[in-house]
């Protein structure tokens, strides 16, 4: 940041403001603290007759790789509304969400991912604005080596594991930066 978005001053500082406990951008001219908070990514794991809906990304990052429909929340929407919107935007599909399923903290990139379980409303889908292909996959057909993100891989692995028991607990995990050994 170079200018205060509140008063326009070019005197921004990045240090610990008085009464705070961590460095932040703040303006000594108007005393406004410019908080920077994690981005929330919401999505769904849509299923239709035992098949899982996946989208092949047409945009970066990870263009050409498969993902669950997901994206950044918009202001003024709930988690569920965001997941439903993203499913429509990426797969032209209407999803009926059931339960929150996975939550992943990615503090190194300032993001939190949240996936909901869901059923396609009518089995119809298509290629959305950010996708180059969309398809329904049986569990044995999932293109594991072509998945875009660790959040998607983990969500799908949990889902297949939980299908065996019929229990789908909410999972909360941290995901470390690439190259960091997993625990």
- Residues contacting residue 126 through CB under 8 Å, at least 6 positions apart: 91, 92, 93, 134
Same domain, 93 and 17: no
Same domain, 6 and 68: no
Same domain, 11 and 92: no
pLDDT one-digit tens code per residue, 68-124: 999 999 999 999 999 999 999 999 999 999 999 999 999 999 999 999 999 999 999
Question: Quick check: is 181 in a domain?
Answer: no
Asked whether the bond before 83 is cis by omega within 30 degrees of 0, the reply is no
| Residue 84 structure tokens | 């439903």
Classify the C-alpha dihedral 68-47-171-142 as positive or negative: negative
Question: Quick check: is 11 in a domain?
Answer: yes
Whether the CB-CB separation of 29 and 9 falls below 8 Å is answered with yes
Specify the pLDDT at position 182: 60
| Residue 105 structure tokens | 């903290």
* Residue ranges making up the domain that contains 17: 1-36
Q: Has residue 153 got a pLDDT over 90?
A: yes
- Residues contacting residue 21 through CB under 8 Å, at least 6 positions apart: none
Same domain, 81 and 122: yes
> C-alpha distances in angstroms, 167 versus 7, 120, 136, 158, 162?
53, 20, 22, 10, 6
- For the chain, the domain total comes to 2
Structure confidence at residue 179 as a pLDDT band (50, 70, 90): confident
Question: Quick check: is 163 in a domain?
Answer: yes
Entry pTM: 0.90
Same domain, 4 and 56: no
Same domain, 116 and 48: yes
Whether the CB-CB separation of 165 and 159 falls below 8 Å is answered with no
Cα(71)–Cα(40) distance, integer angstroms: 8
In this structure, what DSSP letter does residue 148 have?
A: S
Same domain, 47 and 93: yes
Cα(15)–Cα(143) distance, integer angstroms: 46
């Amino acid at each position: 940041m170079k200018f205060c978005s509140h008063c326009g001053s070019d005197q921004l500082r990045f240090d610990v403001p008085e009464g705070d406990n961590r460095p932040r951008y703040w303006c000594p001219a108007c005393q406004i603290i410019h908080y920077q908070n994690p981005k929330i990514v919401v999505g769904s794991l849509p299923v239709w007759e035992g098949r899982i809906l996946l989208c092949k990304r047409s945009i970066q990052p990870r263009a050409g790789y498969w993902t669950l429909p997901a994206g950044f929340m918009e202001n003024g929407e709930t988690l569920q509304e965001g997941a439903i919107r993203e499913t429509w935007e990426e797969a032209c599909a209407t999803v009926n969400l059931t339960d929150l399923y996975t939550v992943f903290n990615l503090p190194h990139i300032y993001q939190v991912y949240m996936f909901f379980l869901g059923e396609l409303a009518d089995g119809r889908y298509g290629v959305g604005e950010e996708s180059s292909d969309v398809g329904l996959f049986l569990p044995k057909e999932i293109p594991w080596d072509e998945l875009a993100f660790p959040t998607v891989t983990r969500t799908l692995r949990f889902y297949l594991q939980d299908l065996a028991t019929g229990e789908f607990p909410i999972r909360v995990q941290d995901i470390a930066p690439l190259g960091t050994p997993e625990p």
